[in-house]
Amino acid sequence: MRIGLGEGLSSRLAHAVAGLVARGHVVVEPGAGGSVDVVIGERPVAAAWRAVQGHARAVVLGLEQASHARWNPLERWAWAMLGAYGVVPEHEVDAFIARVPSEEHERLALWPVPTQVAAIVSPDTDVLERLCERALARRSAGPGRSALFVDRDGTLIVERHHLADPEQVELLPGVAEALRTVRAAGHPVVVVSNQAGVGRGLFDIARVHEVMARLRQLLRREGVELDAIRFCPHAPDAGCDCRKPEPRLFREAAEDLRLSLVASAMVGDKWIDVDAGHAVRGAGVLVRTGHGREELAVARPPEARAADLVCDDLPTAARWFLEQQDD
């Protein structure tokens, strides 16, 4: 995301914005030129002015009962006209909900219990990032869009076992152009990745975010913005419900971005990627990059559903995905 900032951010909101920057999002200073995706601020009028300057598609505000009670009529009008989204302290949400119309309740998210952790791994950053994604999706398009879900290692970037060094991130040939074409056709691109190295104690979640930030940076240089990144940090034997092929991360992304999973596709270099696509009634595509060729040599259970497509690489899979949308 390209982020514009309103004036006078609270320390909590500023900390979460710092987390977004650490995760590879970009803050665009006023007067720097170019558009922004979302404006983050505290005061509706100041945020509205910044949104006009940056041609922003969405506005997200940090809300507190005390400041909201002091809003003047112009600020209340700006909040309503912007269709702004807001993040509210949990202990104040009831009071805030009582002040706004019921149709605005879905535009609110809750700050989690405060924690003293680095911004890149802060739960506050998690909440703000997802709220920005939700706001952008709801201000940009109607529901039911089909998306291209993609695995990271071996599909987008060169496979390096338990990658933990951002400097080793290397895009595979043709990936950026393929994703740029998919997004230009109106389809979101969402990365869904299993990062078992965290659960196995090989590296921490901060490292995962740093590697993802490097991925965002490399793709941005090629004119590609990822719509969302979701990952599971658990070991394979943890019994969680977010590790592919489990559907949780896909369903969360679908809710946030207003996607139709049935019309979407998951592309990856392992059978668990194919199975994940099928688990949400979408398509599953296996590419031969990364572990793909090794996976093809493994016998599948008789009851396992075949891949909808087996192909050489992500660019080929992306072309197939777009052809399916035209049928």
**What does the H/E/C string look like for 207-240?**
HHHHHHHHHHHHHHHCCCCCCEEEEECCCHHHCC
> Which of 42, 326, 289 lies closest to 186, judged by CA?
326
Whether 183 and 223 have beta carbons less than 8 Å apart is answered as no
Phi, psi of 17 (to 5 degrees): -65, -40
Beta bridge partners of 229: 191
CA distances from 1 to 54, 127, 162, 264 (A): 13, 15, 26, 22
Distance CA 109, CA 129 (A): 11
Q: Is 153 a catalytic residue?
A: yes
Catalytic residue among 37, 124, 153, 256: 153
Query: Which one from 37, 124, 151, 275 is the annotated catalytic residue?
Result: 151
Length of the chain: 327
Is residue 221 exposed (0-12), middle (13-18) or buried (19+ Cβ within 10 Å)? exposed
Give, for 292, the enclosing helix (H) or strand (E): helix 292-296
33 is written with which tokens?
């030129």
C-alpha to C-alpha distances, 301 to 181, 193, 245, nearest whole angstrom? 35, 23, 15
> Are 191 and 215 within 8 A, CB to CB?
yes
Instruction: For the chain, report the end-to-end CA distance as a whole number of angstroms.
Output: 31
Question: Residue 247 to residues 17, 211, 251: CA-CA distances in angstroms?
Answer: 29, 23, 6
Active site residues: 151, 153
